[in-house]
Amino acid sequence: MIHKDYILKNKLAPDISGVFFNQNFMISCLILKFRSLFVTKPKRKLMLSSEDYEMGRRYALCQPHPFIKGKTLWDLCYDKYESINTIDNLNKFIFNEI
């Protein structure tokens, strides 16, 4: 019987380690696209209210991260200490104020 390390070392079996990441990434992209069908882009600047915060959060969760694959815009804009900073960051990205 051939040992597993021998098979991997000599590449007798195909490497499928990247297949699962690609499938998960594709599924997450499809979920983002599906969610974005039901969420509209804010037409006005977001103010400090719970309705605006929720509207911005829903929109940011449906948009891809501008720099990192597999993350959302919310991961970039969210500040766990101050909601004012979160809303300000969302306004910068939504209305191109960077």
Residue ranges covered by each domain of the chain: 4-94
pTM (predicted TM-score) = 0.71
Give the residue with greater pLDDT, 58 vs 98.
58
The string of pLDDT tens digits covering residues 44-80 is: 999 999 999 999 999 999 998 888 888 889 999 988 8
Closest CA to 89 of 55, 49, 51, 60: 60
Helix, strand, coil shares of the chain, percent, nearest 5, are 55, 0, 40
